[in-house]
Amino acid sequence: MTLTRKLLAVVAVAALGTMSACSPQAAEQVPEPTSAAPSTHPESGLEIIPVTVTTANGTHTFMSEVADTDQAQARGLMFRTEMGPDEGMIFPYDPPEPLSFWMRNTVLPLDIIFIGPDNRILNIAEGVPYNQNSVYSDGPSIGVLELNRGRSEELGIGPGDLVEW
């Protein structure tokens, strides 16, 4: 084989290798990054869902942990030291019933939002850290939404506003 033929053979092999590396079959499939929020809370392990509150000022969404078992409801936000401004915890109840909440072992000051059977806010109680005195719903409730203390007032959330989850 002459030098020219060897050179042509090397160039041909290199060209074929380059073309196959650029073909769709040879390309490595890289998954698209996702920006979806985690579906469970890293500390509690509870499912996270969006809870929306519709006020005269607009709609506010809180990514909320779902306390839907007796154990999760008993623990609630006890011992937690932080919660984001657009985070919360929702406690669903079926059937509707009069509810009371206390703040035993709860470090964070909270707004405790009682939700009536029509999905409207009945009343908002002040959750004082470590307080063992109960706060009560103003009637039968299908749920309670807990937010950082003062967040309801800051966003104009009050009795009669619609809560959906």
pLDDT in tens, 66-76: 999 999 999 99
Domain assignment present for residue 16? The answer is: yes
The domain total for the chain is: 2
**Which residues touch 54 (CB under 8 Å, ≥6 apart)?**
161, 162, 163, 164
Does residue 138 sit in the same domain as residue 110?
yes
Tell me what pLDDT residue 45 has.
Answer: 93
pLDDT tens for 135-157 read 999 999 999 999 999 999 999 99
Does residue 2 sit in the same domain as residue 56?
no
Does residue 100 sit in the same domain as residue 157?
yes
Domain that holds residue 1: 1-30
- CATH code of the domain covering residue 154: 2.60.120.1140
For the entire predicted model, the pTM comes to 0.77
Does residue 156 sit in the same domain as residue 96?
yes
Does residue 14 sit in the same domain as residue 62?
no
Q: Which residues pair with 53 in a beta bridge?
A: 60, 163
**Nearest Cα to 105, choosing from 73, 140, 62, 76?**
76
Q: Are strands 121-127 and 48-55 parallel, antiparallel or unpaired?
A: unpaired
Tell me what pLDDT residue 37 has.
Answer: 53
What's the CA gap between 65 and 146, in Å, rounded?
10
Does residue 62 sit in the same domain as residue 2?
no
Those residues of the chain that have pLDDT short of 70 are: 1-38
Tell me what pLDDT residue 38 has.
Answer: 57
Does residue 79 sit in the same domain as residue 112?
yes
